[in-house]
Every structure is written in C-alpha cells, then in structure tokens.
A and B are shown apart, each in its own frame.
Chain A
C-alpha cells in the first residue's frame, strides 16, 4: 500500500462509533466557536446539552449532514446559515467538536462551565471597499427610521417597495444627489378613497375586485389591500417626490449613497 493511500484511509480507520475525527486542537477550536455561536442564548445549550434547540450531546451525526446544516442552516427554523459568517475551517472545527460529543454523557452536570473565546467568531472579510463603506452604512442605517433600505433591496437586505435600484437607468448620471432629492418616480399615483383618504401610492396588483398598493404617505410604506368598491379614483399625477423619503440625509450623505449604489450596480 502506498503511503498516500494509507493517509487517506487513516481517519476512517480511527473513527469512533460516534464518528469523531478531529484532533484535540480542532476540537478545542470548535468548542470555542460553539460556545460563542451555538450554545449561546437559548440555542443548543452549554456543551450541546439542549435548550430551545435540540440536544447535540450523546447523539451521532453524519459529518456531511453537520457541515451542510451548519453552512446552509435549516430554512424556516431557528437554525441559521453560517456559511457567510464562518470559514470552511471554522465549520470543520465545529463539526469535529460536535462529533466529539457523540459519546459524552447527556447530562453536563459534572463538567465545569465552558469558557468561551474572548474573540469573536472568525468573520469573512467584508467585501465592500473602504471608500464605499460610508455609503453602505447610510443606505442600511437602522438608527434612521427613514433610510434607503426601507424601500429598496440591495445585496439581499432591505424591502422591495421600490424598484431594483441597480437597474435604474438614472444611475448613469453623475448628479445623483439631485436626482435622489428631486426625482419624481413615474410609477407613483394619487389614490383617492371614497372615505376621503388621499395618498401617494405605487400599485402592485389590480384585479376585478381589489387593488394592492404601497401607501407612501408614511414610513415604512404600507401595503394596502383595497376593495375596488372603496376606491374613488387613481390619478396619474402625484406630488410625491423621492426627496420626501430621503429627507434625513445631507447632500454629502446622498453623494456617498449614490456612489455606493453605482458601485454595487457595476459589481452586479
């Protein structure tokens, strides 16, 4: 048998019933990551001893399954996808640690509390270049009730009230901040209801019996489901300006945002 073949077979040859494959060092690293991200809060509990989420101690898991679940999460449950927060090496260490628990006693009473790492879990490098960080932070700034992402979705975050701004033709122009302030989106209409309510809105769906439209008169916009019998008229003109939505930003802010959006569009 050639040496390289022997090496390739080693892990399975030494595999324990629970499938523990890790080295003491990788298990220790996994332990720290687990304490930081998995046992915390109300999730898997200290040492995987169960809390709101299932017990991991004393259970066997296929390695492929563990890696897949850690990386992709389980949709529509509390198990998040860690693939964009942890490196492949981290996920391997975590899997080593969880597999090392396969034969551990279910009750953790005997072991002392785990000391978690004092450093945060490894982060993948943020891909926004420094020059566009300011624009990105302003776009998604949760401390502002009125911010771009209340209406626009970008890179998987934000709402879908407004159009995909990376595809807006106006992005080609350079006087972006002026457009953001004075632009008059053509899709905005004036809705007049029979009860006298009158508001700017963007229509989403119109059937024989109802009309669904985003009411733009407040932030965040409200998706209203109106019976057509309650609607007096829908007028093409509107006083609504994009500036209504970006009032909280300075011209300098808008310039940064504009540059960031152009960057994001070009990257797409």
Chain B
C-alpha cells in the first residue's frame, strides 16, 4: 500500500492545472495538455540504473519504422503500426489481446509514408486515421469495427491521416496531411459514437471569409495548411488547439502573395462548433517549409508576476513560440538551435526580423534544413523542474526555389533542396536540452552525433527519457542532463516513449524502429546512416520485483 502512496505522492504538489499522467497514458501527449510528463516516481534518478526489460512486442511490420505513441488505459496498451494495424496488448505481460487491420484498396499509392503515429482511446472505443483517409472506430474490448467514414478521396486530394486523433467530450477531432500537395487543409470533428461529421474548420479561408484576402488568385484552393500532428485541448476554455502546417508550394510563394492565413499558425477552435476563437501566425508567407505543425503544450506560468494560461509551440524553423492561450497574444520566442539564418530574430510583438528567403533558380544556404530545427517528435514539460525538454538539430541545406503550377492532389513543392552544406556554426548533429519555457535559457544540453528523432518523456522521478538513431533508449537526470541508464533495443528510435502503472508497478515503454521521412534524409549528410537497421517493436521496462 505504501508503494501506491509513493506513486501518487507528487500529485499533491502539482499546481492547479494538472497535465500529468498517472496509471494511464490516455492521450497522445499524455493528457490533452501535451506535457508528456508523468507524476509516477517509483522509477527515479536514484534507482533507474536497475531498470530491466519485462516484455517486448514485435509488430512484424518494419516498413517506415515504428513512430507511434502507445496509449495505455486500465492495463491495456493500444499500439498502431505502419499500414493501418492496431494491436491491443496486455500491459503487464505483453500478450496480444486482439489485432485489427484496415486493408488499403488494391494498387493504392501511399502518400507521406506508410506509418501511423497513434490511436486515440475513449469511452471504450479506439479511433484510427488511415492511410487512405478514413476515420475508423473500434470496440476497445475486441477490436470489432463500429464505424468508418471516408473523409475525402485520398487519390484526389493527395492527403491522408497519419496522426493520432484527439478525442474529448465525445468528439473525435482529426487533422490531415497534404501540405506538400496541391490541397486545402482542414480539421474535422466526428461524433465518437456514430461517426457523424460535426464540423470542419478549413485552415485556408474560402471566398468571403476573413483571411481569404491573404491569398492571391486560386492559390487558396491548393495552399496546403495541413494539420498533420495531434492537437491539444483546454477544458476550462473549451478550446482545441491545432497547428497548421506550411503553405504550398513549400519553397516558392510567387502565386500566393500575402500572409497566407492560417498556414504556419496555431488556431484555437471552439470544441463544440469548430469556430475560430483566435489564431497566432508564427511565419507569415512561409517559403521555407517551416510548418507550425508540432505539439501545443498548455502550461500555466507567471509572466511579469501574473500567472497566465500559456501555449508553447516549437516551430520547425527552430524557434519556439509562447502565446497566451486564452487570446493568442504573443508572449515570447526563443531559438532552439544555433544554426538558424532564415531570420535574424523575432521582434517584441512576435514579428520576424531580417527574412532570408530562397531565390528562384539560385542555390542558397538555409539553416536549419527542411528536416527542421526539430522534427515532429515531441518535447516534454516538467512542472517539477520547471523545464521544457526538447531535442534540436543543427543542420543546413542548399535550396533553390522553382515556380510551379499546382495540379490538384499532386506534389507541389516549388523547389529542391540538398543537405550538403556544412553548418554555419559547429558540427551537424542533434541534441537534447533543458530550457526555461519562457526565456529559453538552457540549463543543460546532451549532444549526439546524429539528429535525435524520438520524443522526450519527463517524469516526477526527475528523469528524462528518449532514444537515439543507434538504438539506445536512455534516461538522463532531469536536473543535470547526466546519463543514468541506457538499453540497446536493436533499432533506432523515432516513436514516443511513455510510462504507466498497473497494480502499483510503474512501467516505462518505448517504441523502437528506425524509419520515416526525416531519418531518410540523414544519409545526405552522414552516408553511413543508410545502413541503420529498421525495426518495429515495443520494449517495456520496470524495476525488478522485490523477491517474495
């Protein structure tokens, strides 16, 4: 009993806004506030060196690696893999409870890769977005299909779903890929019980709508604005926050003059209606493929002596933006990487200074590279240390902008790039750092020879977990960054580790399996990484059980 108490002891110390997970890992980002932080502390800095594998689960499909965040609810792990497969696994033994496969139409071309980044689980149902643009609901007990809906013909739109849905209050909120295709993005909400469509928010306003004037000609129809990562939700404000990706064509904006709303923006939508409450555009008229695409971390912190409801978002361009999540007001911006030359800085109102844009027909060095100052793998916020933990990547590219005519649903990139240029500062590589979320002041940094492409997990045990390209899953001291433990899982890390507890025992689980679009870029800079082995498995660890 005292063990259980210890497990929850830190919960009492947490501030009013509680985004920590405990026994369950119920949502993609932990809770809907996307902290990726667990209040569990049975595994902690003093005993993590005794962490031992307890089971592993091989999915058998290593195409594209394993990029998912497992979801754990009441002792059952729900795992999605490439090619629309879901496994329900006993979270204590690793035994398979049921599996599900959503077959693709014969001869289907998979855009944006075969991977899936996670399912959502709520009210006894499991929800999946598919590679051919369906949303599917299953019975969590047995994997029986309950409903499915075809959002749009994937062959026509050149878009599909790879991100986990967000499910709150009986609504399944789902984004879409397609930002590098001639496509117009959106966010959809479906009724969790019946599958009926509830609302759609177009990320690019149509004729007559506010913001439409930020596009020229027909460019709004093909302007990208994908919502390819999972959104967040604030129950008190009843707002769901979604990141809207880059405008298309990615590197050339000659036929879409204007700010191109709401691309490269965080949008706050009323959960019940899908109506826009506010937006904050990070990069007006993006011509670098900088997606505002990643997680929206909801945290309450004092700013100038007043506690504010904040939202932190890492932009692919390597800048982190912090805004007030009640009204979208700009609060702060800070760089995550040293190699950053597309702007000279961010002004006091969030405005970009000294834009350095790609040029038509001429090669130009841009830092970071298209792979991002960070990839989509998420950071973690620990209210206990007051630090935001995030990976970052030092690399640059040579880029040439190319005018292009959009063709519906087809690749619409507007340029070419190569990751051949040496970084302007230091060596190319990756790092994991601990940052003050508002000032960006770095407390420590852990360097690695290649980009770190797995999500970060923080726990109340003063631990930070992530994995590297070589296959090591490891724990750092959350306060100092010192490496405390590591384990070789046999393939590189591109997914998101989690922690959960069953019957008083804390488990740490990590997907392993190298793959993805960005990992495929690495050989351009590090030829030897072409030989990194793929894989697809979940490894689960715990402290040894006391001898009986």
Contact = CB atoms under 8 A, between A and B. Distances in A.
B146 A221 contact: no
A55 B153 contact: no
B476 to A, nearest CB: 29
Given A41-B180, A46-B418, A220-B150, A120 B404 contact: yes
B411 A159 contact: no
Interface string A141-181: 01101000100000011110000000000000000000000
Contacts of B527: 106-107
B327 interface: no
A42 to B, nearest CB: 4
Interface stretch (B93-101, B189-197, B279-287): B189-197
A40 interface: yes
Given A142-B157, A220-B150, A225-B145, A115 B521 contact: no
Interface string A87-111: 0000000000000000000111100
B221 A49 contact: no
B399 interface: yes
User: Which of A47, A73, A115: most chain B CB closer than 10 A?
Assistant: A115
Contacts of A215: 147, 194-196
B149 A223 contact: yes
Nearest to A151: B150
B361 A115 contact: yes
Contacts of A266: none
Interface in A211-268: 215, 217-225
Interface string B89-132: 00000000000000010111111111000000000000000000
Interface string B152-195: 11011100000000000000000000001001100000000011
B180 A145 contact: no
B400 A49 contact: no
A40 B153 contact: no
A118 interface: yes
Interface residues of B, number: 64
Contacts of A123: 407
Given A40-B413, A223-B149, A224-B147, 8 more contacts: A42-B518, A46-B417, A78-B112, A81-B107, A140-B156, A156-B155, A218-B194, A222-B197
Interface of A: 35-37, 39-43, 45-47, 49-53, 55, 73, 75-81, 85, 106-109, 112-120, 123, 140, 142-143, 145, 149, 156-159, 197, 215, 217-225
21 contacts: A40-B415, A41-B180, A42-B518, A46-B416, A47-B418, A51-B520, A51-B524, A52-B516, A52-B520, A52-B521, A78-B111, A85-B410, A108-B420, A118-B360, A120-B407, A123-B407, A215-B194, A218-B197, A220-B152, A222-B149, A224-B146
Interface of B: 83, 104, 106-114, 144-153, 155-157, 180, 183-184, 194-198, 200, 206, 221, 360-361, 363, 398-400, 402-405, 407-408, 410-411, 413, 415-418, 420, 516-518, 520-521, 523-524, 527, 530
